[in-house]
Amino acid sequence: MYSRRSIVLAVLVGLAFLASTTQPWIQGSRLLANKYADEFSTDFGYGGSFKAVDNSFHKQFGAAGVRSVRVEAQPGDITVTRADGDRISINGERIAYGPSNQIAEERLRYVCLDAVQDGDVVRVVGSLWQPEPSSPNPAGPNGGFTNIVLRVPPGVAVYLQTPAGKVALDGLTGTVEAHVDMGSIEARSITGDLILRTSAGRISVTNAAIKEELSLTTSMGDIEFEGSLGARNHVEVSAGRVQMTVPRSTCVRLDAATNAGQVNTNMSVTERKSEAMKSSAVGILGEGQPTGDLRIRVSMGEINISGK
């Protein structure tokens, strides 16, 4: 039997193909991507309606000498906020489902979560344990889930990777990088470099102060950014809308184009061009001396750039 995740991915691929041939599918594919991104959380109920949870995981590390925290997790939600002190704290929740309480509890034993310090890196790993390499995983065909909450002191870089779930980032300083196969990413009050990627889901960034690099990428879903840009800024969407809100004082070299949609801006730009369904804006955005580059690519959807 096919898992619901496999079915969802197949539907999304099909919609992506349809979106490449017909304009009305843009909105539908965006809505479906966002809908299923929300459903890929630990309350989705894979493998049965009975749920086993262990939320006892807790570890702390001193931040002295630590340059980054790296998380590789099972599907689930990841929340990272700024710590008030000088310690890195990790709280975790392990989750498994089953057709009965007993089976859910048995499956939970094979859902693993650990955190260790390796030199100047703290590693947080969510994994599934298999007794034998050739044996099917006892946690079931859909595996287990881990919800993780991190508190990180200022200046410590954060790198996250998960197949599915919601990622929330708040108040971090330093490099922040998150990769999600299917799920939404929300970042607030980030100071530093910001690299966010998801295959299907929405990316929202508010009150950001980018130092050097901004990179936001999704295949299906909207991207919204509000804040100041860095020297290198790249935004890319296959099917969805891009909304960039920047200070009125912004001046960058702009290269924005969509294959099916419009490029709209209330700021001055050197050259705008529209033909058939394509639209582009190229040149200097804003007034003054450019402080960086802004490149935006959208296959199907509109681009809006607003100064405030």
Residue-wise pLDDT tens digits, 37-84? 454 544 445 567 899 999 999 999 999 999 999 999 989 999 999 998
129, 52: one domain: yes
**H helix runs in 72-196, sequence order:** 101-108
- Give me the pLDDT at residue 131, please: 54
Percent of the chain at pLDDT above 90? Answer: 72
pLDDT in tens, 122-144: 999 998 765 555 555 554 444 68
15, 50: one domain: no
- Give me the pLDDT at residue 25, please: 42
Please say if the pLDDT value at position 18 is more than 50: no
Residue 136 inside a domain? The answer is: yes
9, 50: one domain: no
Please say if the pLDDT value at position 162 is more than 60: yes
Q: Which two tokens stand for residue 282?
A: 């190229």
Q: Among 222, 249, 197, 290, which Cα is nearest to 29's?
A: 222
- Give me the pLDDT at residue 31, please: 52
Q: Among 268, 269, 263, 298, which Cα is nearest to 282's?
A: 269
20, 98: one domain: no
Expressed as residue numbers, the domain containing 146 is 41-153
- Give me the pLDDT at residue 143, please: 60
- Give me the pLDDT at residue 277, please: 81
* Total domains in the fold of the chain: 2
Secondary structure class of 50 (helix, strand, coil): strand
- From 153, 176, 210, give the residue that closes a domain: 153
Global pTM reads: 0.84
With beta carbons less than 8 A apart as the criterion, state whether 88 and 63 touch: yes
Q: What is the 8-class DSSP label of residue 122?
A: E
Q: Give me the mean pLDDT over the 191-206 stretch.
A: 97
Q: Out of 95-109, 111-125, 272-286, pick the least confident.
A: 272-286
- Give me the pLDDT at residue 44, please: 47
